[in-house]
Structure 1
Amino acid sequence: MRLLFDQNLSFKLCQMIGDLFPDSSHVGSHGLSEVPDRALWEFAKANGFAIVTQDVDLAELAGLLGSPPKVIWLRAGNQTTAMIADLLRRHAPTIQSFEGDDSTACLEIY
């Protein structure tokens, strides 16, 4: 699964979890840091990314539009980048299963 980290998350996550989720990227690498959520949605859809965010708006879009793209909504509050990387590592099997679940568009991780 290719992850696209939203602007509210550090670009460093791409490298920190690259062994589990290769080819992941950050919105800043694509000039998408300040675009509306719908533009980010369309980019992720067109390029085969799942969006990782702390933003409820993208989770709501997943509920309205379904997938693709899938949304991984991090509900852990403000945490350090290292703690977010650890959270994603601990939930890696769930995230990988989520990729193949056609009935679910949004995965909430606590």
Structure 2
Amino acid sequence: MKFLVDNQLPAALARFLTSRGVDCQHVLDLNLGDASDAEIWAHACQNDCIVISKDEDFLYLANARPAKGRLVWIRFGNCRTKVLLAAVERLWPRIEAGLNAGDRVIELR
């Protein structure tokens, strides 16, 4: 599985996941920092990446028909990067299990 972290989340999340063996990039790594949500989604779909975002617009893109992409939708409020990374680490087994089961959207609260 490959992941693409959206602009609304810190690049530190992509680095954190990469340090744990996850194939992950931040949109800034791909010069997509100024890209629209639709452009980021199209890139993710074309490259079989799962988007990680707090942006609800990606939920609509994920539910559009036909939709090929998948989304990890982070719903907890604004928090320090350290808190975000700890939460993602704690929830990662659930994320992987859902994606391996074929879920298209994983919602984290």
Same fold judged by TM-score > 0.5?
yes
Residue in 1 that maps onto 2:27: 27
| Distance change (3 Å), C-alpha of 1:82 and 1:65 | farther
How big is each residue's C-alpha offset from its partner over 1:1-41, in whole Å with a ceiling of 9 and x where there is no partner? 32211001111112222244522000011111121111111
Calculate percent identity across the aligned residue pairs.
24
Q: Mean alpha-carbon deviation: is it higher for 13-22 or for 81-90?
A: 13-22
Matched residue count? 109
- Alignment check: 8 A CA contact 1:3 1:21 kept: no
Distance 2:3 2:76 in 1: 18
How big is each residue's C-alpha offset from its partner over 1:50-72, in whole Å with a ceiling of 9 and x where there is no partner? 10101000012112246532101
The normalised TM-score by structure 1 is: 0.88
Q: For 1:16, what is the secondary structure of its paired residue? A: helix
The 5 A counterparts of 1:1-110 are: 1-65=1-65, 67-102=67-102, 104-110=103-109
Q: For 1:76, what is the secondary structure of its paired residue? A: coil
- Alignment check: 8 A CA contact 1:2 1:21 kept: no
Distance 2:31 2:12 in 1: 16
- Alignment check: 8 A CA contact 1:16 1:85 kept: yes
Q: Structure 2, unaligned stretches of length 5 or more?
A: none
Q: For 1:83, what is the secondary structure of its paired residue? A: helix
Distance 1:99 1:21 in 2: 17
| Distance change (3 Å), C-alpha of 1:66 and 1:78 | farther
Q: Which has the higher contact order (CA 8 A, sep 6+)?
A: 1
